Amino acid sequence: MKQLGVEKVYTDKLSGKNRDRPELRKMMDFVREGDRVIVESISRFARNTKDLLELTAALEEKGVQFISRKESIDTNTPAGKFMLAVFGALAELERDNILERQAEGIAIAKAEGRMTGRPKKAEGAFADIYLEVKAGRMSASQGARELGIARATWYRKAKEFEDDQKIIF
């Protein structure tokens, strides 16, 4: 972008699927008539056609030219505007396909028992150590250390255990 003589560079760390991005907002507030907004790729700017068309329309209303380097699109021409809509739809389709494949992969992994969430720590030994702590033979810190969990986790598990057991002390 610097090689193109770009005056100001805005870089968002968030995905193009989200229109509420700090740097995008700053850029939209900053641009003025006669400016050019140059993006690396349409999919980095917006991931759904509606957002893309609304953002580029807002730029056009301000008299700002939109250019995508990867797709070689310049919205100053009718053909460029048409191609913008086509590539915007393709970016949205790509995102939807990614999400669909991801959901399928997760469903398969769960069905095969490969994805069961975070491994449970200290499930079996917790009750024994809990009783040791409550009897005063061990501190909560020692119990947590023995189980390989943080103290905060100890206290959360102790509360859950008491609620489950209906233990009143």
pLDDT tens across 73-114, in order? 877 788 888 888 888 888 888 888 999 999 999 889 888 887
**120 occurs within a structural domain:** no
Question: Which is higher by pLDDT, 120 or 98?
Answer: 98
Looking at residue 38, which CATH number applies to its domain? Answer: 3.40.50.1390
- Classify residue 18 as left (phi > 0), alpha (psi -120 to 50) or beta: beta
> Which residue is associated with the tokens 């917790």?
126
Across residues 136-148, what is the average pLDDT? 90
Query: Under a CB-based contact definition with an 8 Å cutoff, are residues 85 and 78 in contact?
Result: no
Number of domains in the chain: 2
Ranges of H-type helices in the chain = 22-30, 42-45, 49-61, 78-111, 126-134, 140-147, 151-165
Q: Is the pLDDT of residue 161 over 90?
A: no
pTM metric for this prediction: 0.54
**41 occurs within a structural domain:** yes
> Domain containing 64: what range?
2-111
Q: Residues 49-79: pLDDT tens digits?
A: 888 888 989 999 999 988 888 888 877 788 8
**48 occurs within a structural domain:** yes
